[in-house]
Chain A
Amino acid sequence: MQFQFANQGLAWSDAYFLAQGLLNTVRLAAAATLVGTLAGIVLGWLRTVSVTVRIATAPIIDILRSVPMIIQLILANSLLSILGFGASPFWFGTVALGAWMSAVTAEVVRAGLLSVPVQYRKSARSLGMNGYQELLYISIPLAFRTALAPWIGLVLSLIKDSALAGVVGYIEYMRSTQILITRTHETWLLLMGAGLFYFLICYPVSRYSRHLERKVRV
């Protein structure tokens, strides 16, 4: 008897499956960007003003920046499972990507704050502003202009790295593509499609950042 596979080709219902994967990618990237950026801003500022924090956090930052994302994802998955945080691939992915994002954002924020020429800060203080007023009205706006472009670069990296979250069982876009490839063997078509959609997510981000940079340039 001839062995018969079920329907192997692509079906329209697969489009729905892929769309869900795409949505999951956007959700994961957005959550990790938000968490990582907020944590990174605080961390970067602390690392600028406090030598103790700078020394204490240096190993964490170096590790998060240097260890490949796929290893971080697997470690985060194991660690959080052992610690009893249940089994939410979305949150495991968010923690791993967010931790990386906070480490690299912290360095961008620190570089931005250090790039503010000391004489502007001196001028602000000479007008009677206290340290926080100076930070709020002078240093942050100026650091923002310096940090914007590199930060956007990080967001784009993060969107692409989120494709690795499949290893912790999160069905994001890349994972859903792989599942379909396994079933249909339409490798070329599906991978081209996946590449195209990653481009479609990233390109507007990079365009918008260029627009923003022009707007705030001084």
Chain B
Amino acid sequence: MIRISNVQKAFGSAIVLKGIDLTVEKGELVCLIGASGSGKSTLLQCINGLEPIQGGEILVDGISVHDPKTDINKLRQKLGIVFQQYNAFPHLTALENVALAPRVVAKRSRAEARALAQKNLEHVGLGDKGDSLPSQLSGGQQQRLAIARALAMQPSYMLFDEVTSALDPELVGEVLETMRLLKSEGMTMVVVTHDINFARESADRVAFLCQGEVCEIGTAEEVIDHPRKEQTQKFLRREQRKPLEIVRSSVA
């Protein structure tokens, strides 16, 4: 379980998160939606400690992420994260990309790590791309590679940070398909997205973030189809009117 309580975060004088409370239960898929600059991505990167926080606490399976005594590198093995920019390591083949962390972090043998990597590549439909360099893969393939790389550490939670926002529209489907597959296998997921349709179809709960606060939270039906707050209604109206191209170019 991920328990986020009263988290505050500022970049210099700019306050990004003003006391966020959110709990993610095991096996749940929670979508974070909200306008650019509402703090969704920042919150996600706070969950695995990539961003420090100025107040509050985040507990992952009861362990405090930002406690200096916590072995953050060990904790991060539980928390896979996939970014908007695929960030596949450009000097390594697809297989090496996936096998690297199991080998050097989880201390598996070279052969074991490669077998694990192959299994995870197959899982995301890249079984035949093991020898390709990231530069030889399409955006969608690179993003699935990033998912496989995170999965190879056998995390308990997966965090997705606008993973389809940098993709060409025709490549979005294959990545969403992979995420649905993970969901069907019972993975606990926190997904920051601009894709309202994905949130409506897949999310167990949707949280609408507005100006650094959780403005509205509930099932997809409650938040997306019958939003109560005025900000949520406004955001959704704008979001649904926007053609996809504008959404993509406005993504931070």
Contacts and interface: CB of A to CB of B under 8 A. Distances in A.
Asked if chains A and B come from one complex, the reply is yes
B104 interface: yes
Q: How large is the interface on B (under 10, 10 to 19, 20 to 34, 35 or more residues)?
A: 20 to 34
B117 interface: no
A53 B80 CA distance: 35
A196 interface: no
B90 A142 contact: yes
Contact of A128 (B73, B89, B91, B133): B73
Given A119-B85, A120-B87, A138-B89, A125 B100 contact: no
A165 to B, nearest CB: 38
B77 A128 contact: yes
Contacts of B89: 120, 123-124, 138
Interface residues of A, number: 19
A127 B153 CA distance: 7
Contact of A122 (B74, B83, B135): B83
Contacts of B153: 127-128
Given A218-B91, A218-B133, A218-B135, A127 B105 contact: yes
A65 interface: no
A126 interface: yes
B185 to A, nearest CB: 20
Interface stretch (A2-10, A97-105, A129-137, A175-183): A129-137
A141 interface: yes
Indicate the member of B50, B73, B91 with the most A CB atoms within 10 Å: B91
Given A126-B76, A126-B79, 10 more contacts: A123-B83, A124-B89, A126-B48, A127-B153, A128-B74, A128-B101, A138-B89, A141-B91, A145-B91, A218-B90
Interface of A: 119-120, 122-130, 133, 137-138, 141-142, 145, 216, 218
29 contacts: A119-B87, A120-B89, A120-B90, A122-B50, A123-B89, A123-B146, A125-B73, A125-B76, A126-B48, A126-B50, A126-B76, A126-B79, A126-B80, A126-B150, A127-B101, A128-B76, A128-B106, A129-B104, A129-B105, A130-B73, A133-B105, A137-B104, A138-B89, A141-B91, A142-B90, A145-B91, A216-B91, A218-B91, A218-B135
